[in-house]
């Protein structure tokens, strides 16, 4: 097990180096930004944008941004073009993140004769349709744009609920062609670019050498689990240049108390008497909480840390204490026992962000849980829009929430899978007052998040046992 974990971490570090070489820079968000993530079902029902926002909520507590999910299940770039005015510009974004490719590349026809011709046709269709969207985006003044490639389609893993015989062989090659096109468009337009498909394919391939059923692309070969979405968030943040950003760093030598070293924090009331070191600690940010709940038994967000060096690169809350007498020391924060460490451990430096029982980590969990509540409410809005864009628009009933619309949906319930899935939510969301209240609830949660995400002064004691 230890050797397997070493191998995985080594692969993760190599992939990070490769990705940083490939990546074009992606501008960081700034205070006041309104950001829209435009995509398909991976955006619509996904968490990667929520994890990215959580990073900004905890790392930059005084910098308020707003992120909007503009994903619709089953969308290709042609659909994104059609709904751009009503589902993107309505949020008045000054920053747009665009991702496509999974649906644009097609599915079942890869299992038929002439699959190569089918893939070429889907590629050419994407180029034509993106040209329309490209022109629309370029007509918007003062907007920052980033393109993310799609996450990979899983062609290799032997999955229990998705037989290998049904795999769309050749789809990945077309998606890689599309990612090359996306990179060239980003370069030509001076847009940001994030390569997700290449490093995530490599993680899948390396994992499958040890386990033929391994994938971070999801049990249906298309939709990543929380694990995959955290990997996506990592590569996005990496492209934004956060690969060496600490939460904080404190270095104390008990023999030179007047010469402490700090980054992104303040230390006050420092004392060292009778084997007890104590001080007040105020960081500029909170550690990133990575213990999101499992989704239907699938791998969690925290499991992603096996495959990307997020903790080493983006979540370091380092405490170093030198000069202590040899022995074992306990650390308490606000009188809560965190753990025990050897004097050598403390001299080498410990990462407090690894300990979920610190008061600052618990504070960050509150932020995370409120952000999850916000995501759940936003999901209802996305399902409402999804039914309109995927079904009602084709009946010339886009955003016509009338009795006629309700009657049509009810008559189609037995025969249409999309209607069956989305109708329960629509039965409530068709009322404007309900949707408006959901929007207000989201803003109430965001307001509360930006109230409670401010770091507090913590009293740390290191006591010899």
> Mind listing the pLDDT tens digit for each residue in 406-443?
999 999 999 999 999 999 999 999 999 999 999 999 99
**Confidence bin at 162 (pLDDT 50/70/90):** confident
Please compute the mean of the pLDDT values over residues 356-381 and round it to a whole number. Answer: 97
Provide the b/e sequence for 203-231 (b: ≥16 CB within 10 Å).
Answer: bbebbbeeeeebbbbbbebbbbbbbbbbb
6-15, 102-111, 207-216, 417-426: which range is least confident on average?
6-15
- Is the model's pLDDT at 295 over the cut of 50? no
State residue 9's pLDDT score.
Answer: 54
**Confidence bin at 294 (pLDDT 50/70/90):** very low
**Cα 174 to Cα 156: distance, rounded to the nearest angstrom:** 16
Mind listing the pLDDT tens digit for each residue in 248-282? 999 999 999 999 999 999 999 999 999 999 999 99
State residue 290's pLDDT score.
Answer: 87
The structural domains of the chain, with segments of one domain joined by +, span 2-239, 248-284+316-465
Which residues in 77-225 belong to E strands, given as ranges?
A: 95-99, 144-148, 192-194
State residue 22's pLDDT score.
Answer: 44
Mind listing the pLDDT tens digit for each residue in 40-97? 999 999 999 999 999 999 999 999 999 999 999 999 999 999 999 999 999 999 999 9
- Is the model's pLDDT at 370 over the cut of 80? yes
- Is the model's pLDDT at 292 over the cut of 60? no
- Is the model's pLDDT at 376 over the cut of 70? yes
- Is the model's pLDDT at 163 over the cut of 90? no
3-class SS of residue 225: coil
Please compute the mean of the pLDDT values over residues 320-324 and round it to a whole number. Answer: 98
**Confidence bin at 13 (pLDDT 50/70/90):** low
State residue 166's pLDDT score.
Answer: 83
Please report the DSSP string for 88-103 in residue order.
TGGG--SEEEEE--TT
Q: How distant is the alpha carbon of residue 309 from its chain centre?
A: 15
**Confidence bin at 34 (pLDDT 50/70/90):** very high
**Confidence bin at 23 (pLDDT 50/70/90):** very low
State residue 10's pLDDT score.
Answer: 56
**Confidence bin at 173 (pLDDT 50/70/90):** very high
State residue 143's pLDDT score.
Answer: 98
- Considering only CA atoms, which of 445, 11, 35 is closest in space to residue 236? 35
pTM, full prediction: 0.94
Mind listing the pLDDT tens digit for each residue in 121-140? 999 999 999 999 999 999 99
Q: How far is CA 203 from CA 33, 102, 216, in A?
A: 32, 18, 8
Q: Are 220 and 164 in contact (CB under 8 A)?
A: no
Please compute the mean of the pLDDT values over residues 162-166 and round it to a whole number. Answer: 81
CATH of domain 2-239: 3.40.50.1110
* Arithmetic mean of pLDDT over the chain: 94
């Amino acid at each position: 097990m230890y050797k397997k974990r070493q191998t995985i971490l080594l692969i993760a570090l190599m992939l990070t180096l490769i990705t940083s070489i490939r990546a074009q820079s992606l501008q960081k968000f700034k205070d006041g930004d309104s950001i829209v993530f435009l995509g398909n079902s991976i955006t619509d029902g996904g968490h990667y944008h929520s994890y990215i926002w959580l990073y900004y909520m905890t790392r930059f507590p005084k910098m308020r941004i707003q992120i909007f999910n503009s994903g619709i299940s089953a969308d290709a770039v042609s659909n994104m073009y059609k709904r751009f005015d009503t589902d993107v510009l309505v949020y008045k974004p000054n920053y747009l993140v665009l991702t496509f490719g999974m649906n644009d590349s097609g599915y079942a026809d890869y299992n038929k004769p002439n699959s190569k011709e089918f893939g070429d046709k889907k590629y050419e269709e994407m180029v034509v349709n993106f040209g329309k969207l490209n022109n629309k985006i370029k007509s918007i003044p003062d907007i920052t744009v980033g393109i993310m490639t799609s996450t990979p389609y899983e062609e290799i893993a032997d999955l229990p609920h998705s037989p290998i015989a049904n795999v769309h062989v050749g789809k990945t090659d077309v998606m890689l062609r599309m990612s090359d096109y996306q990179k060239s468009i980003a370069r030509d337009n001076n847009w940001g670019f994030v390569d997700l498909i290449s490093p995530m394919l490599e993680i899948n391939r390396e994992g499958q050498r040890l386990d033929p059923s391994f994938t971070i692309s999801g049990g249906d070969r298309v939709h990543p689990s929380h694990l995959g979405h955290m990997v996506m968030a990592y590569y996005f943040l990496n492209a934004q240049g956060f690969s060496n950003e600490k939460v904080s760093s404190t270095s104390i030598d008990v023999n030179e108390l007047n010469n402490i070293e700090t980054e992104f924090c303040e230390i006050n009331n420092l004392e060292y008497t009778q084997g007890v070191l104590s001080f007040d600690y105020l960081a500029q940010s909170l550690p990133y909480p990575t213990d999101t709940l499992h989704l239907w038994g699938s791998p969690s967000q925290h499991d992603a840390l096996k495959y990307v060096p997020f903790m080493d690169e983006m979540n370091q809350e380092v405490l170093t204490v030198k000069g202590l007498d040899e022995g074992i020391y306990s650390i308490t924060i606000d009188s809560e026992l965190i753990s025990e460490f050897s004097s050598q451990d403390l001299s080498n430096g410990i990462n407090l962000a690894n300990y979920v029982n610190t008061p600052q980590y618990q504070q960050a969990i509150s932020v995370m849980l409120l952000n999850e509540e916000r995501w759940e409410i936003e999901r209802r809005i996305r399902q409402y829009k999804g039914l309109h864009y995927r079904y009602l628009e084709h009946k010339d009933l886009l955003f016509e929430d009338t009795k006629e619309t309700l009657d049509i949906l009810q008559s189609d319930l037995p025969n249409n899978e999309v209607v069956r899935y989305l109708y329960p939510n629509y039965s409530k969301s068709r009322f404007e007052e309900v949707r408006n209240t959901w929007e207000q609830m989201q803003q109430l949660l965001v307001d509360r998040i930006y109230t409670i995400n401010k770091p507090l002064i913590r009293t740390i004691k290191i006591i010899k046992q």
